[in-house]
Structure 1
Amino acid sequence: MRGFFTSTLAAAALSCASATCSGFKDRTASLGSSNSTGYDYIVVGGGPSGIIAATRLAQSLSNKTVLLLSRGPGPTVNTGASLTVGWNDSLTPIDVPGLSTAVALYERGNETLFSSYLCPDAPNVYAACVLGGGATVNYMVFPHPPNHDFDDKWPTGWKWDDVSEAADRVWSLNPGTSLPSEDGKRYDQGMYTTVSKFLDAQGWSAVDSSEDRNNKTKVYSYPNWDIGNAERVGPLRTYLPLAEQLDNFSYRVNSTVRRVLRDGSHSTGVEVENEAGAIETVSLNKGGKVILAAGPWNTPKILFNSGIGPLEQIQTVANGTTGVALPPQKDWIESPVGQAIKDHPIFTFYVQTPDNWTSYNVSTTVDGSDVDDINLYEQEGSGVLSQGYHRMIFWTSNVASDNITRYYQGSVSPQGQGLFLIKGYLTHGATSSGTMGISANGDVDYVQKPYLRDAGDQEGATLFVEEMLEGMSSYNGWELTEGYTNVSYILSTYTQGDHYVGTANVGTDPSTSVVSADEVKVWGMDNLHIVDSSIHADLPTGNTQAITMVVAEKAVEKIIEAVKKAF
């Protein structure tokens, strides 16, 4: 039977594998006046950034109390989930890497498991409301960011040389792996063989995307997945067990923070809607801090509800139907919250080849009939179920007439007999941005989408799609499927990458940024900080999970350093 986690964190994780750890034990406790002394640090958001920040605060400031509030439920058996895979009562569908595309086949209450873990107040975008955040529901692709992701547009104090030690701390606990099967073998590699031959013929090179992370032009790689011990990991399983052993740490699930409570420029606590729908107050101790880590959609919402943001958005809250009480108008802080959102647009290619391989039939795992693969996974931590969805990742770049280098990631997966899918992302170097806001009923959404708004992005994307189509349409009997055969169609049918950044961006000027570069402190506030991907100054070259963890490590380091200097 598969264990909880057996990496270098085994002792920490296994000691918390029951309901005896402080975080799990306290998670159903009352949030309100029962805590008469309050907390020294309230971390809002149970995703990767919040878990990392809360863990490091509790470790570094052992005489201070730290509370982590997760809006959603726990997704694993050890964090309270009861829906398991059916053939193993210690594993939920979230745990098994090979089931990442099948989470929507399981039902939790009246919804699919996937839908139940999404925030209902972000109906047109993806925001995860579950402990572990986006790392709980994504496809686990985990490329380590190249230096230029920080060096190009991040402010002083946030260049690669500044964050490299924070990255090392992440990799020491949560490195990811391109070879997750514990028998050291790769499974279901027919598509990889086919596509790698094509890329080789086009002059591309095979690399290890973690070891050679700065090489992002005409290279391909096995995916680096956020997997350990053949299970989905992320900070939920690599950081949180460390915090759970500390007496000064606790966490609660199903606790929605509505707003930060303020006395002028000072945070005094947070207002929380608990699982029963009751509104409670969680207070800060004297000298305490609120750290927002609710994600690129919910962190801005909390700021709007707290009287921080564009005046138009704050006024929408004031005139809305949510019942949120804003601070006095004299205390509203005008800030460009939500005014610089970015995301990766995705371009789709379906290619039919004459080769004799197919995609893994995940439904046979869901119904338990694939006994051989299930047994191999359960007994040895090996096989196709230990792997993620994609079989290849690639990168390339081009330079448009504006002389800006734009990078592109391709995520490649088998879809059927000889059929594969490429999702091509326009990534780092994209110049288009948009805006987001809040509606009267409290929903968050785009005001202006950020995709392909600038001529340079349109030109670069066109060059990328043209190059891909030219190469694939003339190769070895390959056939582009109907609808995905011309540039204009592919560009016009782009989809959202769901890798949102920049809604509370970091900077040195309060007129163009939301938090300061030195302490990630919200401009105009003296003890309110943000550590999640909303502060990112630019789009990364790949999926956002790894870089989000690095930024959280660096951001909380800055907060801790400032606290220690004050004493």
Structure 2
Amino acid sequence: MAMAGVVLAALATLATAQPPTCTTLPSNQTYDYIIIGSGAGGIPLADRLSEAGHTVLLIEKGPPSSGRWGGTMKPAWLSGTNLTRFDVPGLCNQIWADPVGVSCTDTDQMAGCVLGGGTAVNAGLWWKPHPVDWDSNFPAGWRSKDMQAATEKVFARIPGTTHPSVDGKRYLAQGFEMLGGSLEKAGWEFVTANEQPERKNRTYGHSTFMFEGAERGGPLATYLLSASQRKNFSLWTNTVAKRVVRSGGHATGVEVECNGAGYAGIVSVTPGSGRVVLAAGAFGSAKLLFRSGIGPTDQLNVVKNSTDGATMIGSDSWINLPVGYNLNDHVGTDIEIAHPDVVFYDYYAAWNKPIPEDKDQYLNTRTGPLAQAAPNIGPIFWEIINGKDGIPRHLHWQARVEGSRPTSMTITQYLGTGSVSRGRMIITRQLNTLVSIPPYLRHEADKAAVIQGLVNLQESLKDVDGLIWISPRPNVTAEGFVNSIPAIPSRRGSNHWIGTAKMGLDDGRQAGGTAVVDLNTKVYGMDNLFVVDASIFPGMVTANPSAAIVIAAEHAAGRILGLK
């Protein structure tokens, strides 16, 4: 595949037997846009800005992931192919068994620090937001009618599929058939998620994935591909952004550090018109703001007393904004059932010892169980619970074939749109981020919705022959079960973090203000610094987070390009 622009320093080192070295930046190198973070926000934004004719540099702290971009991490049975662990759908869950070299090491939560970010390591789920996701959370200019054009553009490029195997078959569908059929008998309706995005109340359907040709697709195979073919686009991996270099409210560049390979020094934006965009995720973007002297004073003092102290911008130029507050995540509640019709497939064992027939089937024809996301996800289903406080709360349920028995299915309930509980993340003197206040079920109406959703599911499945409730046990009430699970990330977390650089009209520098960025995603107090990722989401959506972020990036690109 032809690639234009500056080729990754990391790829150059991977192509030789020489030990990795850092590349010092030439002092005269400038870019119209420097984007930090190559995930669901950064990649689409880089494509759109370079498409408009601007010089764009996209910086990723981790190594390449997909084989199409020079990635090399793979099991032995993929040797001799251009595929890596990130490309094969059936290996997506391997990050939970072996995250070394893939997950970020500077946060207490699981996050992908590789090219593609979360879109490289997740299960590839991909469906359109419910209109209420935008209408109930976002300010004017970001409502569902405003997002329609961006949504259409995103799903034209990445339509998604409900049958990843190229032969159109769904393998090992017994779990879907048992649970989906049971829901239908209880009155739930079957929907095709991306054809009926507004129908998410007592509905169910097949999981939709961003895969294409039975390989991981998404932004890595679309937006990054088109961007890479432009001479005005550059991509660096293994390069850590330390801070935004700024003079008062104007960013002049970014200081970067070599991560084994990559670049070191200060890279500058085009004088006068250049811009910096943070797209490093809810923790990564907040961390960069802190290190750049933007955030609550208590956190900036932590940075000042760290190894950053000598180079940190002076306190007279600090911008006091509520970065790190408004932290949110889908509240995850796992239940487990078992049924004799369910068939387990050991995707974890497929890393070292795949079933020979299945391995050959995948490699030769891109079909079979390994063409599907581990661990056989589906069905997905939704319900809306009217909250005790008058706020409707959207629940998304996601089933998968794994658990304590060979016939188990684990079903996770995610509390999304309508949740009002919030938490906070902070930075330590070691410059690591952590969740200081978990955002789970801090409001009674949020907990009540989670409990009611479980009660409703128990009622829907009560007459299914052969079905066994493993968790919660039959003698445990839904309320007792929900209350028994600690409201901490290790037990309730979904790794769908949002909100740490909230968008809004209430400037966070003012008394009572809660927003970090304005409606153009520009940081308050700065004239050329932006944030475009899940950090800016005011509230939790029920949508697949990756899809919502890509849509937001498409929309933000238009707003940013429209600024003078």
Normalised to the residue count of structure 2, the TM-score between the two structures is 0.91
Partner of 2:396: 409
Contact 1:257–1:273 (8 Å) recurs in 2:
yes
How far apart are residue 368 of structure 1 and its match? 4.5
Q: Given the alignment, which residue of 387, 398, 403 partners 1:400?
A: 387
How far apart are residue 369 of structure 1 and its match? 4.5
Partner of 2:147: 163
User: 1:98 is matched by which residue type in structure 2?
Assistant: G
How far apart are residue 473 of structure 1 and its match? 4.8
Quote the Cα distance in structure 1 between the aligned partners of 2:483 and 2:202. 21
How far apart are residue 470 of structure 1 and its match? 3.7
Quote the Cα distance in structure 2 between the aligned partners of 1:24 and 1:345. 38
Quote the Cα distance in structure 1 between the aligned partners of 2:328 and 2:420. 9
How far apart are residue 437 of structure 1 and its match? 1.0
How far apart are residue 22 of structure 1 and its match? 3.8
Contact 2:275–2:528 (8 Å) recurs in 1:
yes
Uncovered stretches (5+) of structure 1, i.e. residues with no partner: 1-13, 106-111
Q: Given the alignment, which residue of 364, 370, 379 partners 2:364?
A: 379
Q: Identity across aligned pairs (percent)?
A: 33
How far apart are residue 482 of structure 1 and its match? 5.4
Partner of 1:496: 493
Q: Given the alignment, which residue of 101, 121, 128 partners 1:137?
A: 121
SS in structure 1 at match of 2:252: strand
Partner of 2:90: 98
Q: Given the alignment, which residue of 285, 305, 309 partners 2:295?
A: 309
Q: How does 1:477-488 map to 2 (within 5 A)?
A: 477-481=466-470, 484-485=473-474, 486=476, 487=478, 488=480
Quote the Cα distance in structure 1 between the aligned partners of 2:69 and 2:310. 30
SS in structure 2 at match of 1:87: helix
Q: Deviations over 1:162-184 (max 9, x none)?
A: 11111111112112211221111
User: 1:534 is matched by which residue type in structure 2?
Assistant: S
Partner of 1:300: 286
User: 1:127 is matched by which residue type in structure 2?
Assistant: A
User: 1:80 is matched by which residue type in structure 2?
Assistant: G
User: 1:513 is matched by which residue type in structure 2?
Assistant: A
How far apart are residue 324 of structure 1 and its match? 6.2
How far apart are residue 240 of structure 1 and its match? 0.7
How far apart are residue 281 of structure 1 and its match? 0.8
Contact 1:32–1:282 (8 Å) recurs in 2:
no
How far apart are residue 276 of structure 1 and its match? 4.1
Task: Say whether residues 1:250 and 2:240 are aligned partners.
Answer: no
Q: Given the alignment, which residue of 30, 49, 52 partners 1:57?
A: 49
Partner of 1:454: 443
Quote the Cα distance in structure 2 between the aligned partners of 1:324 and 1:314. 13
User: 2:91 is matched by which residue type in structure 1?
Assistant: L
Task: Say whether residues 1:468 and 2:469 are aligned partners.
Answer: no
SS in structure 2 at match of 1:411: strand
How far apart are residue 321 of structure 1 and its match? 3.8
Partner of 1:423: 412
Q: Deviations over 1:355-376 (max 9, x none)?
A: 2x31112245323441221222
Superposition CA RMSD, Å: 2.0
How far apart are residue 90 of structure 1 and its match? 1.4
Q: Deviations over 1:416-461 (max 9, x none)?
A: 5332110111111111111111111111111211100011101111
SS in structure 1 at match of 2:556: helix
SS in structure 2 at match of 1:467: helix
Q: How does 1:40-189 map to 2 (within 5 A)?
A: 40-60=32-52, 62=53, 64-88=54-78, 89-104=81-96, 112=98, 114-123=99-108, 125-189=109-173
User: 2:533 is matched by which residue type in structure 1?
Assistant: D
Cα 1:363–1:501 shift into 2, 3 Å: closer
Quote the Cα distance in structure 2 between the aligned partners of 1:396 and 1:482. 20
Normalised to the residue count of structure 1, the TM-score between the two structures is 0.90
Q: How does 1:252-271 map to 2 (within 5 A)?
A: 252-271=236-255
Quote the Cα distance in structure 1 between the aligned partners of 2:378 and 2:199. 19
User: 1:92 is matched by which residue type in structure 2?
Assistant: T
Cα 1:428–1:470 shift into 2, 3 Å: same
Q: Deviations over 1:141-196 (max 9, x none)?
A: 11211111001121111011111111111112112211221111111100111101
Quote the Cα distance in structure 2 between the aligned partners of 1:324 and 1:546. 40
Quote the Cα distance in structure 1 between the aligned partners of 2:139 and 2:332. 28
Q: Deviations over 1:39-66 (max 9, x none)?
A: 1110011112111111111111x2x321
Cα 1:303–1:179 shift into 2, 3 Å: same
Cα 1:362–1:394 shift into 2, 3 Å: same
Partner of 1:280: 265
Uncovered stretches (5+) of structure 2, i.e. residues with no partner: 13-20, 486-490, 508-512
Partner of 1:556: 557
Contact 1:347–1:491 (8 Å) recurs in 2:
no
